[in-house]
Amino acid sequence: MTNILLVCAAGMSTSLLVQRMENEAKGIGFEGKIWAVSMDEAGDHIDSADIVLVGPQIRYKLPYLKGLGEAKGIPVHMINPSDYGMMNGRNILQFSMDILSEEGA
Q: What structural domains and CATH numbers belong to the chain?
A: 2-100 (3.40.50.2300)
Q: How many helices (H) and strands (E) does the chain have?
A: 5, 4
Q: Is the pLDDT of residue 105 over 80?
A: no
Q: Is the pLDDT of residue 101 over 60?
A: yes
DSSP 8-class letter at 87: T
pLDDT of res. 10 = 82
pTM above 0.85, yes or no: yes
Taking the CA atoms of the chain, what radius of gyration do you get in angstroms?
12
pLDDT of res. 90 = 95
Helix axes 13-28, 89-103, angle to 10 degrees: 70
pLDDT tens digits, residue range 9-60?
986 778 899 999 999 999 988 889 999 999 999 999 999 999 999 999 999 9
Tell me the catalytic residues.
Answer: 8
- β-pairing, 32-38 vs 51-54, is unpaired
